[in-house]
Structure 1
Amino acid sequence: MSILSKFSFKDQAFKLRENAILDAATAVLGSKGYDLMTMDDVAGAVGISKPSLYKHFKSKEELVGEAMIRLLDGAIEQVAALDAALNPVQKLSALLEWALRVRLGGGLPFLPSTSPHVRDMLMRNVKYMLRVVKLNRQLEGLVKQAQKEGLLNPALPSDAILFSYYARTCDPAVEYLQKFSKMADDDIVRHMLTMTFGGLTR
């Protein structure tokens, strides 16, 4: 095996372990929250030592920041992959469906909504904020285009629609339905989308 191949294999193994760490951090955050989560929890979930974990991430703040950046990258990729033939509301619905499925699968779409400390910490993370600004700009464009086409209420401020849309991604109704109803995840997603875009009235 050449030296180049050895380095390439080592890099791939390092990246795979890093992704496993981010998966574990997301799962632990989903179950315990940021304040109760420890680096020991994450290392144990991955099956590595804490010193090995610190080779990848120097602190809990850095780890959580990277987990959220990866999630935002996933959302941005989803927007880029949307069918151009869809209208703006259909695109918004498709992205919300993705976010709800991430949550139901143990993901963590919008952690900042749960903790002022986490929100402040992430706002100091330049890489994270650049992605937030990019995604917000894209979604704001879809909302305004939908209003222009009469697909969303043009009398409402676009910010009110946009932030109500964001709120659906962290609506506790999702967890309640998953824990206490007999609905399948597909049904939960379908009903949440209907209530978001169709409302509660007949």
Structure 2
Amino acid sequence: MSILSKFSFKDQAFKLRESAILDATTSVLGSKGYDLMTMDDVAGAVGISKPSLYKHFKSKEELVGEALIRLLDGAIDQMAAMDATLTPVQKLSALLEWALRVRLAGGLPFLPSTSPHVRDMLMRNVKYMLRVVKLNRQLEGLVKQAQKDGDLNAALPSDVILFSYYARTCDPAVEFLSKFSKMSDDAIVQHMLTVAFKGL
């Protein structure tokens, strides 16, 4: 094996481990929340030592920031891959459907925690904030165009619609329905989309 291929293999292994760490972080955050989550929890979930975890991420703040950045990247990628012929409201619906499916698969809500510490930590994370601004700009444009098209209530301020839309991505009803109803994930998603865009 050449030196180059050895480095390539090491690099791939490093990236795979990093992806596994972020998956574990997502899972632990979903079950314990930021304040109760520890680096030991994440290392244990991945099956590596804490020193190995610190080779990838220097702190819990950095680790959580990267997990949320990956989630935002997923949303931005979804937006970029959408069919250009979809109307603005169809694009908003498609992204919300993706977000709800991420939730049901154990993903995280998009809105930062109401914890002041977590909010401040994310506000200091330049990579995170750049992605938030990019996604927010795209979604705000869709909301305003959908209002012009008559597909969303033009009498409402666009910010009210936009932040209500964000709230749907972390609506606790998703967890309650998943845990206590006998609905399939597909049914939960479709009903949540109906509530979001057509009301009760």
User: TM-score, normalising length from structure 2?
Assistant: 0.98
Deviations 1:51-76 (A, max 9, x none): 00000000000000000000000000
Equivalent position SS for 2:156: coil
Write out aligned runs for 1:119-130 (5 A).
119-130=119-130
**Deviation beyond 4 Å, 4+ runs, structure 1:** none
Task: Report the residue type matching 1:70 in the other structure.
Answer: R
| 1:117 CA displacement | 1.6
| Structure 2 residue aligned with 1:30 | 30
Instruction: Assess if the C-alpha contact under 8 Å between 1:144 and 1:158 holds in 2.
Output: yes
| Structure 1 residue aligned with 2:148 | 148
| Structure 1 residue aligned with 2:102 | 102
| 1:81 CA displacement | 0.6
Instruction: Assess if the C-alpha contact under 8 Å between 1:88 and 1:142 holds in 2.
Output: yes
Aligned residues: 200
Distance 2:95 2:43 in 1: 32
Task: Report the residue type matching 1:12 in the other structure.
Answer: Q
Deviations 1:90-139 (A, max 9, x none): 00000000000000100003251342221111011000000000000000
| 1:147 CA displacement | 0.7
| Structure 2 residue aligned with 1:2 | 2
| Structure 1 residue aligned with 2:188 | 188
| Structure 2 residue aligned with 1:198 | 198
Unaligned runs of 5+ in 1: none
Unaligned runs of 5+ in 2: none
Instruction: Assess if the C-alpha contact under 8 Å between 1:100 and 1:189 holds in 2.
Output: yes
| Structure 2 residue aligned with 1:51 | 51
Point out the more displaced range, 134-143 or 149-158: 149-158
Distance 1:95 1:111 in 2: 15
Write out aligned runs for 1:13-92 (5 A).
13-92=13-92
Instruction: Assess if the C-alpha contact under 8 Å between 2:72 and 2:110 holds in 1.
Output: no
